Amino acid sequence: MAKLGILAKKVGMTQIFDDGKLIPVTVLKTDTNYVLQTKTEEKEGYTAIQVGFDQKRERLATKPLLGIFKKAEAPALRFVKEFKVDNVADFAVGQKLDLSVLADVLFVDVTGISKGKGFQGVMKRHNFGGTFKTHGVSRAHRAGGSIGQSSTPAEVFKGTKMPGRMGGDKVTVQNLKVIKIDSVNNLILVKGAVPGNKDGYLVVKPAVKK
């Protein structure tokens, strides 16, 4: 069963007290989510709704997106995503969604783009242990070591863990407990950390595994 979520922005982390226990929480800020398009089985081959969030200046939008926004009578929006739904008929183009879609939800899955770390070695990127600091080891303390065999098979296998670009990936953190939903200020407080930088965009859905 497809579960409808909401688009939000990461504000940052703080902590709150509950029954004398300190709980680290991430604050997520949301606002009106606009239904921009509906996708049907007959036309697109699947059922979903396209949702937009976070207003921006109209001149910053591309012409194709601007046409979608105007059709939905919505302002130009920065973050546009799709949610698979079971029945498109429950939604109308131009409909506004708010935090009520997460009413009675106790756990959420949060998807975002992780922080970019740049080019990193194997110890940071893949948690390699490194080599000895003594016994004659020279200038190879953080090196990756052997990456293959000799003349057979005479190649480095695809997927070998090596240095490279780290971070900047789509990451989903599952089963984060919802500590509080502030409908007045459009805030969601979830226990623990979520992917990405401050002001990074997030997709918040009811947890699949709970």
Count of helix runs (H) and strand runs (E) in the chain? 2, 12
pLDDT of residue 210: 84
- pLDDT by 10s per residue, the chain, length 210: 578 999 999 999 999 998 899 999 999 999 999 999 999 999 999 999 999 999 999 999 999 999 999 999 999 999 999 999 999 999 999 999 999 999 899 999 999 999 999 999 999 999 999 999 999 999 999 999 999 998 999 999 999 999 999 999 999 999 999 999 999 999 999 999 999 999 999 999 999 998
Q: What spatial distance separates the first Cα and last Cα of the chain, rounded to whole Å? A: 13
Q: Which residues pair with 67 in a beta bridge?
A: none
- Domains annotated for the chain, with CATH where assigned, are 6-117+174-206 (3.30.160.810), 118-166 (no CATH)
| Strand (E) or helix (H) holding 110 | strand 107-113
pLDDT value of position 73:
95
Confidence (pLDDT) at 80: 96
DSSP 143: -
The whole model's pTM is what?
0.89
pLDDT score of 186: 95
How many CB atoms lie under 10 A from the CB of residue 155? 9
Q: Please give the C-alpha separations between residue 164 and each of 118, 123, 159, 189, 190, in angstroms, as whole numbers.
A: 8, 11, 12, 34, 32
